[in-house]
Amino acid sequence: QVQMVQSGAEVKKPGASVRLSCTASGYTFSDYYIHWVRQAPGQGLEWVGLVNPGRGDTNYAQKFQDRVRLTSDTTTNTVYVEVSSLRSEDTAVYYCAGDIGPYDRTPGHWGQGSLVTVSS
Amino acid sequence: EIIMAQSPATLAVSPGEGATLSCRASRAVSFNLAWYQQKPGQTPRLLIYGASTRATGVPDRFSGSGSGTDFTLTITSLQSEDFAVYYCQQYHTWPLAFGQGTKLEIK
């Protein structure tokens, strides 16, 4: 079955960068887009962006365009999100999620989440 | 950018009763609307996509309806495991956008 396995929790200082990974299995990696969604403590879900793993195409929410980079590695079926210039407001659980198909590009298969804590 | 608004923010319902959750998009999204359920400490779970199609394994007491700008998630005969936060999300255009969530709590 489809599985998305994410890297572990990170603690970073303000101004630093963080890189999280998400390894997919159980399907053809290039067939489905992978989204990143974050959730700050006690808050709702916020879409960060997506990557087409096969082509490397990306799309970002406007607020993240300058500080977030999504990449993919087809040799390891892994996608990465890198967030730079971290600030306390970036403290959140970051989820990756594969979409459910070419006609419904919405997150359907979620990873377990990676907690990023930004603190001095 | 499309803005999603959910109502009410909180809904208190007794087990066994039904619940109706609403979601409105700032612009038409056709049928490209999904609903997610999230329980405390858990990953979001896709319930409905295409406005009305249940995801695999979702009980038939969950149903979605609507198109364009106005959508509804209906849950009949609420079970204890249904009390959670529910989010709608449009995927008609990028950037995707979630509503702020409706917390369904036990009355």
CB pairs under 8 A between A and B: 64
- Residue B50, chain A, CB below 8 Å: the answer is yes
A10 pLDDT above the threshold of 90 = yes
Please name which of B14, B40, B27, B30 lies closest in space to residue B101, comparing C-alpha atoms: B40
Residues of B within 8 A of A112 (CB-CB) are: 43
Contact between chains at B96 and A45 (C-beta distance less than 8 A): no
Whether cis (ω within 30° of 0) applies to the bond prior to B59 is no
Q: How far from chain centre, in Å, is Cα A20? A: 7
Q: What percent of chain A has pLDDT over 70?
A: 100
A→B contacts (Cβ < 8 Å), by residue, are 35, 37, 44-47, 49-50, 59-62, 95, 97, 100, 103-108, 110-113
Quick one: pLDDT at residue A102?
A: 83
Q: Report DSSP state, residue A32.
A: S
Q: Could you tell me which chain A residue has the CA closest to the CA of B2?
A: A61
- Residue B57, chain A, CB below 8 Å: the answer is no
Q: How far apart are CA B74 and CA B85, in angstroms?
A: 14
- Mean pLDDT, residues B87-104: 97
Q: How far apart are CA A108 and CA A10, in angstroms?
A: 25
The beta-carbon neighbor of A106 closest among B1, B34, B100 is B34
Instruction: State pLDDT tens for residues A19-36.
Output: 999 999 999 999 999 999
Quick one: pLDDT at residue A101?
A: 86
